[in-house]
Structures are given as C-alpha cells and as structure tokens.
A and B are shown apart, each in its own frame.
Chain A
Amino acid sequence: MAGIAMATVAFHAPLMRAVAGLLIVDESGSQSPAILMLNGDRCFDVAAQRVSDDEARLMLVRGNPGRLVKMGIVPPADEMARRELHKRHVPDKAVSLLSTSPVGGLELPGELVKWLLQHPETEVDVLCDRLSSRRLDVLIRRSANHDLRRKIHIVALPNRNYDETNWWRSKPGAMAVLNGLLRLGFQYSTAGQAPPWVERTDSDLEAAFRKDPRP
C-alpha cells in the first residue's frame, strides 16, 4: 500500500497527463479548406491566421439565444465572432454560418454532417477547446459514418494558462479537467437524447423567495 502511494507521488505528473489525455482528440495539421469555429482559447487568432495563410473559408454556428442575448445585454455569439474576426482583418466574405437556423449543442454534429453531404468534395477543420475535444468526437461519431468522420479534423486548441502537462497546478486547470471528465462521462453514459429544456418563468423566480407567489 505504501509502495503504491509512493509510486503515485513519484509519478504523479505522468498520471495527471494521462488523465487529461483522456479528454483530448487532436487532428491538427490537415489544412482543410473549410474551418468550423466552435470555441477554444484564442480561436479567433488561429482562424484569422488560417484565412490569411490558406484562404480558408470560415463557418460559425448560430446558437439558440440565451436570456442575456434576448435582453440585449450581450450580442449573439456569431455576431460577437464576426466582430472579433473583423478586428483581425478577416474579410466578411470569408465568413458564413453553418446553418441559418439556430443550432443547439447536440444538434451541431448533425448539421455538420448535412453540410458535408452538400459539399462532398471538401473536408473541414473544427476548432474547439482542447479539453472538450474527445467529447466533441463522441458527439460527431454518433452522427457521422466512418467516411464522413474522416473528412472532419478536430483541432484541439489549448488554453493559454494550462494544458494537459500542467493542469493540476491551477484552479482553473483543475476545474476544466474535472468538468471535462464529467461532461465526457455523461456523453458516454447517454445516447445523446436530452429531455426538453425548460426556461423558468417569472412566477418560478418569485416562488424562490415568496411563500405565495402571484400566479
């Protein structure tokens, strides 16, 4: 028992790297002519560089608007992305939407498959957060057959403050790995079907603090 404990302490760094490695699928380097931007630290810088170097075509995702967007406090994510790309001198004509209708997180792989079927000659690089990349791979494999999956290349972008080699040294890194493991575990344990998402009403909010909320 003491030996196992000592070995764990002595080899904690490779063990920790292996744990974070479970979360990562990185297929960088394909230089596909199309790029789907999802998330990841400095994804706008990476995308702008690819447009500049390779004349890649960028695709954004229009998500379902959240409360802050509906209240006009923050812009929709695709608008914010266009603004950031514009700051980096990406021409508007290089940017389009994957789908004109809003796409939820679980619907995204299906929309990507639809797009690939409409553009059979092309391949696509998907920019995403490094510690969410295997989760994305699991979701994509549910929608894409083997041939289509080979046309999709996940580019796993590391965070500027941590990656799989040092995540345990900072609170944000530890939280990112923990949440990544939980999200991946959830996706492995479900078939990808989520129950309907219910938004709380004003009376739900009032019920939080008032014994007899008004109807």
Chain B
Amino acid sequence: MNSLPGKHGWRRIVVAAVLVALVTIWLAHVPLLQFAGRWLNVSTQLAAPVDDVMVLGGDLELRPLVAASIVRSGLARRVLITQVVASDEVVDGMTPPHHEIVHQVLLRSGVSADAVDLLPVIADSTQDEARCLSEYLASHPGRRVAVVTSDYHSRRTKRVFIAACGDRAADLSFIGAPTDGFAAENWWRFEPGFVQYVDEYLKLFKSLVL
C-alpha cells in the first residue's frame, strides 16, 4: 500500500510549511534582526595600551571622537588618518576634505596636532585603507594599532585587514564606534540604519564571493 501523499497532498504540505516558516519569521523578526545586527559587530575593547589608533574614513563624527577618547585615556599615543576620494562638494570647494574635518574633530577633542599622522594614500575603500596600514606596519615594525570603525562595519574590516596585513595583523585591535540614532538592537526602524546595515551585508557578501 502506498502511504506517500499524492500530488495535491505534497502541495498542501509545502504551502503549510511555507506558511509556518513565514509566521515563525514574523513572530521572531525582532530577535532575528537584532541577531543579524549583532553578528556584524566583532569589535573588542582594548585590553592593553596600543601605539596608534587608525580612524577609518566614512564617518566624520563618532569614529574620530572614539579615537580622541582613546588618546585622552592614555591608551594610545598617535592617531593615523587617511585621505578619502574627494566628493563633488569637496571638488567644488563647498566643504573641506574629509581628512581635514577628521583632523579638526581630533584637535577640538583634545588631541594635539603633532599626535596626528596623515597617511599618504587616497583611499576609496576599506581594502585601500587596509593596504595603507599594511605598508605603514611594514615601515614601522612592532607597532600595535587599534583600528576604529563603526561597530556594524567591524566584521568586514577585520576580515579585510587580516587579509591585507597577514602576520602583522596579530598586533591589531578592532574598536567599534557606536552610531547616533540606531544600534544593532533597532537598526531596521531607522532609514539610515536600514541602509547602512543592508549595505554592509551586501558588501560583506561581495567580499566573500569576489
């Protein structure tokens, strides 16, 4: 006797399974989205002082403020900043270049001018910044560096920097700056949070595939 469901029976089972899955996802969407947000953050706190703090481009406010706070706390001596490809507003002379704004944030947050180094690379991506630090570490062996980026950007940053710096990556720490407005717990409720977290997943996917 054949006890397997017929064609219509299988269809009902598949439809029921899809419905159960959708209801489960809907009921659990908040913890699932929070987990997705937290998964991107692999940053750690500083267990010991470092020599330099590198501020990654892409955020003009909280990343430099965290770097300044690290220096003020005596956990680092110098801040490394990169130049970023100029936007149209910078080209038109309407706003100062990215690195100049970061420099000003650092100075106004208590970092002395001679503690800031502008790295000689114009970066267009996290990969460019990782290559830049790799070259810096090659010419400054033994330096311990804390890389400051946004918390949701730390997983991809860590992956890219470890790939670029190889053995020297052992002396790197990855610090996750918070963002104003949203965090891993509520990112999907804010337009900028939604855009940045989804962007980050897409870029992470691209970095894994390509």
Q: Which residues of A contact B (CB under 8 A)?
A: 41, 66-68, 71-74, 80, 84, 159-161, 171, 178-179, 182-183, 186-187, 194-195, 197-200, 202, 204-211
A209 contacts which of B146, B181, B199 (Cβ < 8 Å)?
B146
- B114 in the interface (beta carbon within 8 A): no
A73 contacts which of B70, B108, B146 (Cβ < 8 Å)?
B108
Q: Shortest beta-carbon distance, B64 to chain A, in Å?
A: 10
Q: Shortest beta-carbon distance, B90 to chain A, in Å?
A: 12
Which residue of chain B has its CB nearest to the CB of A210? Answer: B45
What are 18 A-B residue pairs whose CB atoms fall within 8 Å in the complex?
A67-B61, A67-B65, A68-B61, A74-B95, A182-B194, A182-B198, A182-B199, A186-B191, A187-B191, A194-B191, A197-B180, A197-B181, A200-B62, A204-B178, A205-B65, A208-B178, A209-B146, A210-B45
- B170 in the interface (beta carbon within 8 A): no
- Give the 3 A-B CB pairs with smallest separation, nearest first: A197-B181, A67-B61, A182-B195
Q: List the B side residues contacting A179 at CB < 8 Å.
A: 195, 199
A68 contacts which of B105, B177, B195 (Cβ < 8 Å)?
B105
Q: List the B side residues contacting A182 at CB < 8 Å.
A: 194-195, 198-199
Q: List the B side residues contacting A159 at CB < 8 Å.
A: 88
Complex Cα–Cα for A183 and B189 (A): 12
Complex Cα–Cα for A199 and B194 (A): 17
- B151 in the interface (beta carbon within 8 A): yes
Complex Cα–Cα for A41 and B90 (A): 12
Q: List the B side residues contacting A73 at CB < 8 Å.
A: 101, 104-105, 108
Which residue of chain A has its CB nearest to the CB of B91? Answer: A160
B177 contacts which of A161, A186, A195, A208 (Cβ < 8 Å)?
A208
**Do A208 and B186 touch (CB < 8 A)?**
no
Q: Shortest beta-carbon distance, A43 to chain B, in Å?
A: 11
Q: List the B side residues contacting A210 at CB < 8 Å.
A: 45-46, 73, 75
**Do B124 and A171 touch (CB < 8 A)?**
yes
Q: Which of B141-198 contact A (CB under 8 A)?
A: 146, 151, 175-181, 186, 189-191, 194-195, 198
Complex Cα–Cα for A72 and B176 (A): 25
Q: List the A side residues contacting B70 at CB < 8 Å.
A: 209
Q: List the B side residues contacting A71 at CB < 8 Å.
A: 104-105, 108
B101 contacts which of A68, A195, A207 (Cβ < 8 Å)?
A68
Complex Cα–Cα for A179 and B124 (A): 17
Complex Cα–Cα for A97 and B198 (A): 35
Which residue of chain A has its CB nearest to the CB of B61? Answer: A67
Q: Which of B80-108 contact A (CB under 8 A)?
A: 88, 94-96, 101, 104-105, 108
Known: A66-B61, A73-B104. A208 touches B43 (CB 8 A): yes
Known: A195-B186, A209-B45. A186 touches B199 (CB 8 A): no
Q: List the A side residues contacting B61 at CB < 8 Å.
A: 66-68
